[in-house]
Chains A and B, each alone.
Chain A
Amino acid sequence: MKKLSARRRHPLAAVVVLLLALAATGGLYAAFAPASKAQADETAQSLAIDEGKKLYSVGCASCHGTGGQGTTDGPQLVGVGSAAVDFQVGTGRMPAQQPGAQVPKKKVIYTQAEIDQLAAYVASLGAGPIVPTKSQVSPEGADVAKGGDLFRTNCAQCHNFTGEGGALTKGKYAPSLEGVDPKHIYEAMQTGPQSMPSFPDSTMPEQQKKDIIAYIKTVNSSESASPGGLSLGGLGPVSEGLFGWIFGLGALIAVAIWVAAHTAKAKKS
């Protein structure tokens, strides 16, 4: 102690104290507050983004650019949001197999966890529509009749009365909605993939989307009833006409041939 008190007037004493104080506060800060928060970030979000970025560089970057800026082969992904990724990759449309009039739905090659990582990465490029929650897409509390009316007003002109799909120009088409995951229908409305217009919450509130999803589930799913019998694809008069010609008139002609072949005989032989 004598030594310390003897040097307390040393010209460098103040510098040493300052250094010690800085080291103490800096060390304490590093040990406690900011360190714990940084740790949490690492495990969830940024890790997902990192993983997503890796998947992205392998599967998507060749068309959409290394940073999602887009190329001549694929559109920019900044601001499309996680909903768009979840829809495109979750229905197998992306990654695209070949250029064509329209990218078709096909086998999904990523797991849902990988899709979520990709979605996190693309969402980090710029804000956009996000993947809906389970309650947002569940048909509970939805008005099916209102959904039908909304569907006929907004969707039927391309997707047909009950969502059987229809043709667009030059080989493009509105796909059938049969068996499509409600989440994907919701995301398609939010993001407007390919030729489809988007219906953001500002023009079509969440409740209306729910109504539409409930309507599609009622009229075009494995649980929907067809009170009249075979629905013949739900395509209307063309398939009805074909059925009438082939099975209706066809059966009647067969019957006519049978009747004509069994004619009365002048004498019993």
Chain B
Amino acid sequence: MSTATDTKRKAPAGEKVADWADGRLGIYSLAKANMRKIFPDHWSFMLGEICLYSFIIIILTGVYLTLFFHPSMNEVVYHGPYEPMQGIRMSEAYASTLDISFDVRGGLLVRQIHHWAALIFLAGMFVHMMRVFFTGAFRKPREINWLFGFLLFVLGMFTGFTGYSLPDDLLSGTGVRFTQGAILAMPVIGTYISMFLFGGEFPGGDFVARFYSIHILLLPGIMLGLLVGHLILVFYHKHTQFAGPGRTNKNVVGMPLLPVYMAKAGGFFFLVFGVIAVIAGIASINPIWAIGPYRPDQVSTGAQPDWYMGFAEGLIRVMPGWEINLWGHTLVLGVLIPLTLFGVILGAIAVYPFIESWVTGDKREHHILDRPRNAPTRTAFGVAWITVYFIGLVGGGNDLWATHFHLSLNAISWFVRIFFFAGPVIAFVVTKRICLGLQRRDKEKVLHGRESGLIKRLPHGEFVEVHEPLAPAQLHTLTAHEQYKPVEIGPLVDENGVKRKVSVVQKLRAKLSKGYYGENNQIAKPTAEEYKEITSGHGHH
């Protein structure tokens, strides 16, 4: 396309620059392919954007913090402006964090933006992940992208944890000690990993510097790569959309990237930055000056990790302190079991897309989102998972629940222990019933229309409420979802009367599939015949 020099016409400056760039970067073909890329409009599709922007904010503020932070555990005596720390011995890491908070221009604000953005980043990823889960957006072809997102969440947790540990204050030091305890609880390799990670006995003089390179280089580097991959896949797969008139599995209805989404997304970035900056301006976070420097002989009550690790904290807090002593070795089940559960529970949501596609046998591509009610078993599983997660969080904050609601700490621990098992079951059953109820209501609405609130008296004295029929677009939206048939194993004997071999796995799959789509597990959506039959009558039954 670089023809500006060949023609007689004098090209404007902008075109010249664009031509120059195209000759070297090939931007024309890139732009042609992507400029008019269509994105559907829905507020819940912007949750991922919140994560992306808070991640960018974290990187920007983090770079500023690295200019002043000293990742060193050398002991210094504080002689800075903060009076209640005068003459206290502390690590250089802690002293430099005090300096960032009190001496560096804008340091405290940037620190607080960094930390608030981190909490919001993780919370945003959690909600974004749940949005994707409940609408079934993880189905083919997006399973890999689901895993990318999941990895981003887990890596975000650990990046957050290492960052939170850097100031070497009493709260984070307690958290690092907690982690070291968890590492030691791993059989056989635990002590080796601990010695390697801390360069000897805890706390040693190395972990801040090591966590620093993990926090600012290793983990964010991997996350950045995953993030780019995540976005490329979103472009490649195109965005999913909710069912509606004119929307099919083969198109995307919405607005083009340029100019609409570019403007919207750019504006939204500044809105996100603005909201986070305002929060950082009005609310204190991690006031390390009030917490004090880390000393292994000191500890405070109410020592919790940031919220995204609270679930792990809760599992350990409520676990009975079981241990087994064998041949001079101790197996600390009280820590090992929660640690394993932590991985298992997180892993359960990660592998769910694969389990669902195996159970349902559905290997087709899906670009139309499900309404959560139309996938009752999935929705119920998701709510059960959130319930477990939330119960863990309650356990992690058990002391604050106790003091603020005037309850017994022990009673809360028992509540968490019982509801860790009972909670998800109750949540599963209740959610499924609610979903089925909503499906019935949808069916009722399609067949009988909307209750108008108008009461009519018939000539023979009967009172009826007038139902208004739905608009065709609404009818489409309520009936667009597909309904599956449960997987059948087929007859157990073949045509010759010989017993067929049916594996246990097949039987399990058939059973699960029945749980998803069998009778009483979904409400048959109204058929066109049913609709016609009813609407041809009086329309008020």
B355 within 8 A of A: no
State the CA gap A147–B267 with chains docked (Å). Answer: 49
Return chain B residues, CB-CB under 8 Å to A29.
none
* CB < 8 Å neighbour of B119 from A174, A215, A232, A248: A248
State the CA gap A214–B225 with chains docked (Å). Answer: 51
Q: Are A248 and B268 in contact (CB under 8 A)?
A: no
A42 within 8 A of B: no
State the CA gap A218–B305 with chains docked (Å). Answer: 26
Closest chain B residue to A146, Cβ basis = B87
A201 within 8 A of B: no
CB distance from B394 to the nearest CB of A (A): 11
Return chain A residues, CB-CB under 8 Å to B108.
227-228
CB distance from B257 to the nearest CB of A (A): 12
> Which residues A43-102 have CB closer than 8 A to chain B?
101
Return chain B residues, CB-CB under 8 Å to A227.
101-102, 108, 284, 287, 289
State the CA gap A165–B301 with chains docked (Å). Answer: 8
* CB < 8 Å neighbour of B301 from A146, A158, A228: A158
A164 within 8 A of B: yes
Given A167-B398, A170-B408, A256-B46, is A248 in contact with B88 using a C-beta cutoff of 8 Å?
no
Interface size class for chain B?
35 or more
* CB < 8 Å neighbour of A240 from B119, B170, B301: B119
Q: Are B255 and A218 in contact (CB under 8 A)?
A: no
State the CA gap A257–B50 with chains docked (Å). Answer: 12
B306 within 8 A of A: yes
A interface, over-half SS: helix
Return chain A residues, CB-CB under 8 Å to B307.
237-238, 240-242, 244-245
B402 within 8 A of A: yes
State the CA gap A225–B267 with chains docked (Å). Answer: 36
Number of interface residues of A (CB under 8 A): 62
CB distance from A48 to the nearest CB of B (A): 38
Fill in one digit per residue for B261-284: 1 if any A CB lies within 8 Å of its CB, else 0: 000100110011001100101111
Q: Could you say which of A31-39, A128-136, A148-156, A177-185 contacts chain B?
A: A148-156
CB distance from B137 to the nearest CB of A (A): 17
CB distance from A156 to the nearest CB of B (A): 4
B410 within 8 A of A: yes
Q: Are B302 and A160 in contact (CB under 8 A)?
A: yes
Q: Are A232 and B84 in contact (CB under 8 A)?
A: no
B344 within 8 A of A: no
Q: Are B84 and A144 in contact (CB under 8 A)?
A: yes
* CB < 8 Å neighbour of B304 from A144, A165, A174, A238: A238
* CB < 8 Å neighbour of B400 from A169, A238, A252: A238
Q: Are A234 and B127 in contact (CB under 8 A)?
A: no
State the CA gap A117–B272 with chains docked (Å). Answer: 63
State the CA gap A170–B85 with chains docked (Å). Answer: 35
Given A145-B83, A156-B298, A264-B255, is A231 in contact with B403 using a C-beta cutoff of 8 Å?
no
A219 within 8 A of B: yes
Q: Are A218 and B84 in contact (CB under 8 A)?
A: yes
A16 within 8 A of B: no
> Which residues B108-128 have CB closer than 8 A to chain A?
108, 112, 116, 119-120, 123-124, 127
Return chain B residues, CB-CB under 8 Å to A238.
302, 304, 307, 310, 396-397, 400
Binding site for B on A (CB under 8 A): 101, 144-149, 152-153, 156-162, 164-171, 173-174, 215, 218-219, 226-232, 234-245, 247-249, 251-253, 255-257, 259-261, 263-264
Q: List 15 A-B contacts (CB under 8 A).
A: A149-B88, A160-B302, A171-B402, A230-B283, A232-B284, A235-B400, A237-B310, A238-B400, A243-B279, A249-B120, A251-B275, A259-B267, A259-B268, A260-B46, A263-B260
